[in-house]
Amino acid sequence: MTQTTWNPPDLRGRVAVVAGATRGAGRGIAVSLGEAGATVYCTGRSVRGRPATGHRPETIDETAELVTAAGGRGTAVRVDHTEPDDVRALFERVRHEQNGRLDLLVNDVWGGDALAQWGVPFWEHSLEDGLLMQRRAVWSHAITSHFGVPLMAARGTGLVIEITDGVDYDFRGSLYYSLAKISAIHLAQAMAADLREHGAAGVTALAVSPGFLRSEEMLERFGVTEANWRDGAKVDPHFIASETPLYVGRAVACLAADPAVAAKAGRAFMSGDLAEEYGFRDADGSQPNWTRYFAEHVARGEPSA
């Protein structure tokens, strides 16, 4: 994963769980936390020798190694976040190994790329796939927070971040996809309300969305590498405004270090907007802002190809 110089915040001594750290945004977040010196539990289903997602080769073991190489302490833990017993065991391990400390929980479990159908009405979409998407991308987040947040509440401090797509409640082109991504935003809003109303206001919940994410799978889909990614704009001109997974990772690291992060409770933020607020840049030194680009180009109906 290409990196350029940036000044990461100091998260040494902080303990994080990144749920869904195998690839994409999850891996970028875990590595960025490693750059800041954090201890990061990298969870997911794909482990070395036992990939769980079709043709994808990435594993949580590799992510944990990248975290350690970046300056943090990475630990890979195989967890199926749709299974409560798996998740309970994860946080019992964190409690035991870290003396009850958990500073940051990132809910990034997705697993819906192969399940979403586009260009069809919801009644023609596979019901089985649509419901499985909710299990993977919504239930898993609720289960993970159910077992993780009590560690934070017991200490009166912590941050929960829901990773999603977009920051509003607008339709995203496919009912089941839209339902999953909007649910993540509302989970953050509802958790923030519960935390505030039940005496745990020291724990903050919010949502973060990357822009046009230049993930491993997206690079393959466009037939490019990180070295020549701009050639992908020949396939889709909007690709020129894309960002690496490290970009949203750096947003998460900055939020985790912000002493005033509680003011953001219950809200949703784009990585590009956070980059401008906190002053960080992407791995190539750029500072893309998908919010602005979308308003100026995509929302006006400019063709993608």
Cα–Cα distance, 76 to 166 (Å, whole number): 29
SS3 274: helix
In a domain, 294, yes or no: no
What is the chain's pLDDT, residue by residue, as a tens digit (305 residues)?
A: 445 568 999 999 999 999 999 999 999 999 999 999 999 999 998 777 677 676 787 899 999 999 999 999 999 999 999 999 999 999 999 999 999 999 999 999 999 989 999 999 999 999 999 999 999 999 999 999 999 999 999 999 999 999 999 999 999 999 999 999 999 999 999 999 999 999 898 999 999 999 999 998 899 999 999 999 999 999 999 999 999 999 999 999 999 999 999 999 999 999 999 999 999 999 999 999 999 999 998 877 766 65
In a domain, 173, yes or no: yes
Instruction: Return the pLDDT at 142.
Output: 98
Task: Kindly give, in sequence order, each residue whose CB lies less than 8 Å from that of residue 146, ignoring residues fewer than 6 positions away.
Answer: 84, 87
Q: Are 194 and 36 in contact (CB under 8 A)?
A: no
Identify the CA nearest to 161 among candidates 277, 89, 266, 43: 266
In a domain, 8, yes or no: no
DSSP letter string over 105-170? Answer: EEE-----TTT---SS-TTTS-HHHHHHHHIIIIIHHHHHHHHHHHHHHHHT-EEEEEE-S-SS--
Token pair 């993977």 in the structure block, residue: 136
Instruction: Return the pLDDT at 2.
Output: 46
Q: What is the CATH number of the domain that holds 125?
A: 3.40.50.720
Neighbour order of strands in the sheet with 39-44: 73-78, 39-44, 15-19, 104-107, 158-163, 203-209, 268-270
Task: Kindly give, in sequence order, each residue whose CB lies less than 8 Å from that of residue 141, ignoring residues fewer than 6 positions away.
Answer: 19, 81, 107, 109, 162, 183, 184, 187
In a domain, 170, yes or no: yes
Instruction: Return the pLDDT at 3.
Output: 52
Q: Dihedral sign for Cα 110, 276, 14, 243, please.
A: positive
Domain with 161, as residue range(s), is 15-218+246-287
In a domain, 126, yes or no: yes
Report the domain count for the chain: 1
Largest CA distance in the chain: 53
CB neighbours of residue 77 within 10 Å: 19
In a domain, 92, yes or no: yes
The total number of residues shown for the chain amounts to: 305
In a domain, 299, yes or no: no
In a domain, 179, yes or no: yes
SS3 content of the chain, % helix, strand, coil (to 5): 45, 15, 40
Instruction: Return the pLDDT at 298.
Output: 86
Instruction: Return the pLDDT at 50.
Output: 74
CB neighbours of residue 156 within 10 Å: 11
Identify the CA nearest to 242 among candidates 192, 288, 191, 179: 288
**pTM, full prediction:** 0.95
